[in-house]
Amino acid sequence: MTMHTPHSRLAPSLPAPARTTLPLLALALSALLLGACASTPPPVEKMAVAEAAVERASSAGTRENAPAELQIAIGKLTRARQAVANKDYERAGQLAEQAELDAHVAEAHAQSVRSQRSATESQNAARVLQEEINRKIVR
């Protein structure tokens, strides 16, 4: 009477040591692959860069001139922190990168608003000067 194990039915032509080694090798390989997927390190540097970018944007007059863009950056940074707390490091890294970029967008938009305001003020000053010159010429 021949005893059939699940391995002997799958590979009856293999010698007995190979029939026991192959499943163990497959199990070890599976564990290694799962471990590799789960070993994404915490995005410490990305988080620090994002934190600094959002902080810089917050102190650069962006709250007044680009509040919506700044709020988007802050929201993504908050979600990145939550992802780190949940050990979802890949997602945390993505959100940190997005928060950094959004902070830069907020700064750029705030600078654009300030430049536009300055240009408008310069145009108004030039108009007032021109009116003053015209009044002096008419007298």
Indicate whether 34 pLDDT > 60: no
Is 17 inside a domain boundary?
no
User: Global pTM?
Assistant: 0.64
Answer with the residue of higher pLDDT: 60 or 6.
60
Is 84 inside a domain boundary?
yes
pLDDT computed for residue 61 by the predictor = 83
Is 2 inside a domain boundary?
no
Is 63 inside a domain boundary?
yes
- pLDDT by residue (tens digit) across 56-112? 999 868 999 999 999 999 999 999 999 999 999 999 999 999 999 999 999 999 999
How much is the average pLDDT of 16-35? Answer: 60
pLDDT computed for residue 139 by the predictor = 72
Least confident of 11-15, 44-48, 65-69, 116-120: 11-15
Is 29 inside a domain boundary?
no
pLDDT computed for residue 87 by the predictor = 97
Is 110 inside a domain boundary?
yes
Distance, C-alpha 42 to centroid of its chain: 13
Indicate whether 35 pLDDT > 60: no
Residue 60's contacts (CB-CB under 8 Å, 6 or more residues apart) are 107, 110
Is 1 inside a domain boundary?
no
Is 99 inside a domain boundary?
yes
Instruction: State the chain's mean pLDDT as an integer.
Output: 83
Tally of domains in the chain: 1
State which residues form the domain around 90. Answer: 44-138
Q: In 3D, which of 60, 86, 85 has the Cα closest to residue 73?
A: 60
- The CATH number of residue 114's host domain is 1.20.1270
Indicate whether 23 pLDDT > 70: no
pLDDT computed for residue 30 by the predictor = 63
CA–CA gap between residue 139 and residue 137 (Å, rounded): 6
